[in-house]
Every structure is written in structure tokens, then in C-alpha cells.
Amino acid sequence: MYVDNVIEGFYNAVNGSRVLLFVNYDIDAICAARILQHLFRCDTIAYTLVPVSGIQDLRQAYEENCEEVKYVVLVNCGGTIDIVELLEPEEHVIFYLLDSHRPTDLCNVFSSSQVRIIGNSDPEEGIPEFDDVFREDSDEEEDNSGEDSDPEESRAAKRMRMSEEAILKRRENRLWAEKRDRIVFNYTQFSYYGKASAVQMFELALSLSKDTTDLLWCAIIGVTEQYLLGKVEKQQYVLDSGTLQGYVSKLSHNLDEDPTEAANSTPVTVPRISFTKDLQLALYRHWTVEASLRHSMYSACKLKLWTLKGERRLHELLVDMGLPLVQSRQKFSAMDMVLRQEFHSMIEKLAEKYELDQLVFASFILQYGFRNKYCASDVVYSMLALLESTGREKSSKDCFLEAMDALSRPKKNLLEDGIEKAKVMLTSIFKMVQAALDMQMVISGGPFLYFIIQEGALNARQFSHPHTLILLAQFVLQAYVMVRKKKATNLPLIASAPLDADEGTCLVVGIPPVIEDSPKNFFGKAFEQAAEKTNARAQLDYFDSSVMKLKMEDRSKFFDALAALLS
């Protein structure tokens, strides 16, 4: 059931008890957990934080940590599955779900005892009525249906009447079951995302009068991650950023009026967030202008920078801006001050000429001190790179903690390290896109396109992580559409990369067509049905249903079944 009053129904309920906190491996979840950590420390609420990467990982983590725990909070995990059936908890355990994944599992929605969903139900989610999905057994009524019948009725007539009633009852049950299956399928056929969990937690902090600039920055990062990874449509991002702008104005006003802040710190060192127009150019403040234009998906696709013609067009743009090549190839912070100050206006004037009309978007900037200035998108890319930089020396949990620590201002070195890793990540993505188009690696599978990174390909291991592979898939599809135009605008894309060479597994992600206004994804249900039909050794273990693990040997027959299913 939904918890409308988050303070009374959630926060005050867990206050005074130890809380088990499960957090998914995504940026929004990390930001929400960071806010929760702050609130728990303010009220000395004991908690245990455990990052979880998938459904089986969640089950194992619960078994290891469930002793003497009454309250379990799940951040961006568990909302789309029947959590009670999966974990089989004791009756006194209560689960609080803070999950932006949609659709929410109906067993969680209608649970009246152990499952509480933080927030209000969204009318657009289209949750069906309880009676259309759940029905009590009526076996007892069938068994007793003939007891009060006419005593003078013959046994033969009685048997015939009972037989007819049983047939009608079975028909009614069958029709009801068919209707229920249709309703449930319509409800669950698309996966998508709702309100960012970090925003919900910041609103809780605001209600408790414990909101700070750092907590608001976490909420901003959560919303920005949803936008950059294509989890929400642009209109939703505009609405969310408008709401956050109001919070920024309120905090800035309070800061200006607070005499203790003025007395104890200088204005330069106080962290300040500003809402401003920014450019969809990845990391350009920490990179060179030329490199940022080349490796940002929007500008690279619009200018077709994987071609020689596109390269010439890039140089034309720089010339028209009056930006010398020498300046564009050195770090932005080292450029001539006048060019740096006029960079925004110069590129905005030429946006229409070079079809970069959506290059400017509303964003947020955090600044403290003279040199520390970070755009929200820079932090998202940095945290993504830190989160998915696993290797022999670093486990996934180590990377999770590093990404979380990057939100802490005293640990600026981690954020800077993540930015350098993000440059490598974006460079690898662009090179892979260029190779995919040059070598015609994007193949039509009928109702969808697919792109496979073979074992042994350059930087193949870098794409064995969900977020990096999703960024690559979106870039490949956008670039392919720019080349093929009408033929590809209504086709979705499936991308696959090697995952574990010893196990012979690969990672598979599916993304919707570029023509779709809404980023609703139908691949989760399609993957599930194709795996059942082919008996493919697939693991639908991720909390995002459009991501899955698959045996490489089963990939071709799985794709064939998927093509037949979607035709």
C-alpha cells in the first residue's frame, strides 16, 4: 500500500529501530541513500547499508542481514517484483519501497500488512482495480451448492443441475482469468521510470526542516541522471528542474538572510547552487572544446562527426565561432578568458545554422571557492565512470562507495578522478560508434536493429556494465538514424557485449525507437517471453527489466525468437 504521509507513515515509524537499507547500483539510488544517511545520522537512527545489483543479490543480502531487523528500506530495487514472495520474511518485518522503476508490482500495491510504498500513487500509472486482479476462492460455495436444494428433487436431476452449475462456474472463472491476464499484461507490458527517488527523499528532508544545499544537490544529480540516460522524457525533466529551481531559490534566500552563515564563513566558501542555461556538451569545463563537441552524443550525431565531412563541419563551426584551433584543443579552463566568457553566446548564435537548436538546456551548477565549479551533468558522468570502473583491484561494492563519496565536497579528488575516467568512457563510446557505422555492425533483425560487440574487440570489457552499454546503445541508434533517417526512426535497438568469458555470458540491453516521445520500454516483457519460448539460458536478474544476462551460445536463437515475437 502507499504511504501518503511520509513523515508519519515512514520516518517516525522507523525512528528508534535499526534499519536495513538496500540500495541499487544507480546514481539516483545513491543520491537518495545519501540523503537518507544524513537524516538517520541527525536522529541517531542505526542503519546497515547494503548495495545490491540484482534480484538474486538482494535475496542473498537479505538472508545475510535479516537477523533482528524489523524495518527494511529498498531504494530503486524491489518495487517491480513481489518482495514478500521473493524474500519470504517473518510476519513482523515491514518493507518500505522507494523505487522509481515502473510499473510497481500489484502484490506490493495491494499489500495491507508488510509492504509500504513511499509516496503517492500516480494516476498515469494505470493501476487496475483490486477485484479485477485478485479473487478469493469459492470452492466452499461449490461444495455446498446442493445442500439446501429441494428434498423431493431426484438424484439424477440434482446431479444434472450441479453439473450445469459447475460448467457455468468454470466458464465464468475462465473468462475472469482471461480478463485478468489481459489487464495484467496491459499494465506490465512497458517498463519506465517515475519520480526520482532522490527528489522524494529531499522533500522528506524539507518537511523535517533538515534540508541543506548538499542534500538539494543530491536531488538535482538524481534528476539529471534520469535525463541523461533517457529514463524520462524532456518535458518531465523540465517540470522536475522547475520544481528544484524553487527549492534552490528558497535555500539561497535563507542563506543570504542567515546571520550565522555570514559570521562564520565567507561568501566564497559557502556552497551555492545556481539554475542556469547550459550546453549539452559533456564535461566541456574540464575538457577541451573540440573533444567535448566530438564525444557528446547530441553534437556528434547532428554534425556526423564519425565522417570526414562531419570533421570538416566541426572545424567550420569553430571558425565561425572565432575560436582558434589552438584554443579549442587546450583545456577549457586554460583558454583565453574572453573566449571562455563568450563561449556560450558564440555557440548559441550558430546553433540554428548547424542544426544544434536543442544544444542549450536548463541545468544546475554547484560552486564553492574560486576553482570548484561543477555542472550537474559533469557529476553524473563522473559518478557513472566511478560506479562502473570495476576490475581486478576493485570490487563492485568498492566502486559503489567511491561513487557515493564523490558527492562529498571534502572528497573532491574522487570527483576529479571520476571526471578523468568519464573522459575515457566517452572516448571509448565514440570510437565504438564510429567502428559500428564504418564496419556496418548495426544489423536489421526485422522489427528491431541489433548491434553485437564481439569478445576481443577493442575496449569490449568497458561495455560489460549496464549504464555504459545503455549510453553506447543510445549513441549508436541516434547515429544510425542520422545516416538512414526514415528507415530507422521507428526501430528499437538491442545491444550486446561480452560479460563473463569463463561463463560464456553476455550482457543484453534494449532501448526504444528514437521516434517515441515517451521512453517507455517494451523489451522487458519481450525478453521474458522469448526466453521462455526458446529455453534460452537467460537471467532476467536486473531491476531494470530491459537489461539481461544471456549465454552467448543461445544469443542467435534468442534473437530469432524475439524477431518472430515482435513481427
pLDDT at 399 over 90: yes
Q: How many CB atoms lie within 10 A of CB 464?
A: 19
Query: Could you read off the pLDDT of 55-109 as tens digits, one per residue?
Result: 999 999 999 998 889 999 999 999 999 999 999 899 999 999 999 998 999 999 9
Query: Per-residue pLDDT averaged across 415-441, rounded?
Result: 94
Q: What is the DSSP string of 207-250?
A: HTT---HHHHHHHHHHHHHHHHTTSS-HHHHHHHHHHHHHHHHH
pLDDT-wise least confident of 12-16, 201-205, 232-236, 485-489: 485-489
**Contact at 8 Å (CB) between 198 and 225?**
no
More confident residue, 139 or 418: 418
Cα distance between residue 356 and residue 55, in whole Å: 41
Q: Give the gyration radius of the chain's Cα atoms.
A: 27
More confident residue, 246 or 162: 246
Region of 23 on the Ramachandran plot (φ > 0 left; ψ -120 to 50 alpha; else beta): beta
pLDDT band with cut points at 50, 70 and 90 for residue 319: very high
More confident residue, 121 or 512: 512
Distance of CA 219 to CAs 387, 509, 514, Å? 18, 27, 27
pLDDT at 436 over 90: yes
H helices, E strands: number in the chain? 24, 17
**Contact at 8 Å (CB) between 293 and 300?**
yes
Tell me if the pTM is above 0.85. Answer: yes
Q: What is the pLDDT of residue 366?
A: 92
pLDDT band with cut points at 50, 70 and 90 for residue 261: very low
Cα distance between residue 159 and residue 531, in whole Å: 46
Distance of CA 152 to CAs 145, 155, 156, 162, 455, Å? 16, 9, 12, 15, 80
pLDDT band with cut points at 50, 70 and 90 for residue 263: very low
Query: Could you read off the pLDDT of 119-160 as tens digits, one per residue?
Result: 888 777 888 888 888 876 544 444 444 455 555 556 766 667
Which residues fall within 8 angstroms of residue 88, CB to CB, at 6 or more apart?
Answer: none
Q: What angle do CA 452, 454, 457 make, to 5 degrees?
A: 120
More confident residue, 393 or 366: 366
- Where is 49: in which H helix or E strand? strand 47-52
With 0-12 / 13-18 / 19 or more C-beta atoms within 10 angstroms meaning exposed / middle / buried, residue 89 is middle
**Contact at 8 Å (CB) between 19 and 73?**
yes
pLDDT band with cut points at 50, 70 and 90 for residue 255: low
- Nearest-CA neighbor of 55 among 540, 468, 532? 540
Residue 432, CB-side half-sphere exposure with 13 Å CA sphere:
31
- Phi first, then psi, for residue 423 (nearest 5°) are -60, -45
Query: Could you read off the pLDDT of 441-473 as tens digits, one per residue?
Result: 999 988 999 999 988 887 888 899 999 999 999
* Long-range Cβ contacts of 142-150 (<8 Å, 24+ apart): 142/166, 142/169
Q: What is the pLDDT of residue 258?
A: 54
Q: What is the pLDDT of residue 119?
A: 84
What single-letter amino acid sits at 549?
Answer: K
**Contact at 8 Å (CB) between 74 and 22?**
yes
Q: What is the DSSP string of 377-417?
A: HHHHHHHHHHHT---SS--HHHHHHHHHHTTSGGGHHHHHH
Cα distance between residue 348 and residue 361, in whole Å: 11
Q: Collapsing DSSP states into helix, strand and coil, what is residue 22? A: strand
Q: What is the pLDDT of residue 163?
A: 78
Which strands, in side-by-side order, build the sheet including 94-98? 2-3, 115-118, 94-98, 71-75, 19-24, 47-52
Average per-residue pLDDT for the chain: 88
- Nearest-CA neighbor of 30 among 464, 405, 542? 405
Q: What is the pLDDT of residue 316?
A: 94
**Contact at 8 Å (CB) between 80 and 202?**
no
- Nearest-CA neighbor of 417 among 460, 396, 397, 387? 387
Residue 359, CB-side half-sphere exposure with 13 Å CA sphere:
26
Cα distance between residue 504 and residue 552, in whole Å: 6
The secondary structure of residue 542, as a DSSP letter, is S
Q: What is the DSSP string of 431-448?
A: HHHHHHHHTT-EEE-SSS
Query: Per-residue pLDDT averaged across 218-232, rounded?
Result: 95
Whether cis (ω within 30° of 0) applies to the bond prior to 519 is no
Beta bridge pairs of residue 362: 277
Evaluated on CA atoms 136, 137, 140, 145, the torsion sign reads positive
The cell numbers describing 336, all together, are 583565453
